[in-house]
Amino acid sequence: MKEKSRLLIIGGGGHAESVIDVVESEDTFEIIGLIGRPDEVGATRFGYKIIGTDDALSELVKSCQFAVIAVGQIKSADQRIQLYQKAIRYGFQIPNIISPKAYVSKHAEIGPGTTVMHYAIINAGAKVGANCIINTRALVEHGVEIADHCHISTGAILNGEVKIGPKTFVGSGSVIREGRAIGRSCIVGMGLTVHSDLEDFGQLTCNR
């Protein structure tokens, strides 16, 4: 049996638990522990201990080659970006974590550090950037382009040729019409139908 690579989970909350489940399903890595907030250290998530804060990364990289960012993103991507950049700076490799229950076309492209959760679909010609979350049952259709550090939430539908700018959040169950462009650092709320483009830093809370 091939020895599994050691993996550190950076994050200690609910999203980290979801990532743990995907990592276990993928069965490629051995989870050595989690990184969390100071008040979380010593707690466990599904039997894995939170072994330190991000201050411990410089020491942990000596015994663990891989790390994944498992912090959620709604209002801002800043924390995910900071942790991603810090882990790389210390020398960690940030792999893609892709559920075996997801479908990713061989004709799609996915940047480093992106997590694709259970039953998500990424179809042919789609391009997903680095450090993104493609959450449970999200649909990324043909020709969609998602820039770095985005979160496409549970059940969201991005129809053909949609463009999503960096650091943008698309809420659960929202549907974006084909060919629309959503700018950088935008927030699209839950359960919306988006027919028009959205400029940089836009926040959409009702259908348009």
Mean pLDDT of 68-80: 91
Which amino acid, one-letter code, is at 99? S
Q: Which pLDDT score is estimated for 74?
A: 77
**Torsion angle, CA of 114/146/136/132, rounded to 10 degrees?**
30
Q: How many helices (H) and strands (E) does the chain have?
A: 3, 23
Question: 3-state DSSP call for residue 158?
Answer: strand
CATH classification code of 5-95: 3.40.50.20
CA–CA separation, 197 vs 125, rounded Å?
A: 21
User: How do residues 6-64 score in pLDDT, each as one tens digit?
Assistant: 999 999 999 999 999 999 999 899 999 999 999 999 999 999 999 999 999 999 999 99
CA–CA separation, 121 vs 109, rounded Å?
A: 13
pTM of the model: 0.95
Q: Which pLDDT score is estimated for 204?
A: 92
Question: What residue spans of 65-201 are helical by DSSP H?
Answer: 78-90
CATH classification code of 96-198: 2.160.10.10
Q: Which pLDDT score is estimated for 60?
A: 94
CA–CA separation, 26 vs 20, rounded Å?
A: 10
Question: What residue spans of 30-172 are helical by DSSP H?
Answer: 57-60, 78-90
Torsions phi, psi for 113 (to 5 deg): 80, 10
Q: Which pLDDT score is estimated for 186?
A: 96
Strands in 99-182 per DSSP E: 103-104, 109-110, 115-116, 121-122, 127-128, 133-134, 139-140, 145-146, 151-152, 157-158, 163-164, 169-170, 175-176, 181-182
What are the tokens at 203?
């926040």
pLDDT tier for residue 208 given thresholds of 50, 70 and 90 = low
pLDDT tier for residue 206 given thresholds of 50, 70 and 90 = confident
pLDDT at 1 over 70: no
pLDDT tier for residue 205 given thresholds of 50, 70 and 90 = confident
pLDDT tier for residue 66 given thresholds of 50, 70 and 90 = very high
Q: Indicate the domain borders of the chain.
A: 5-95, 96-198
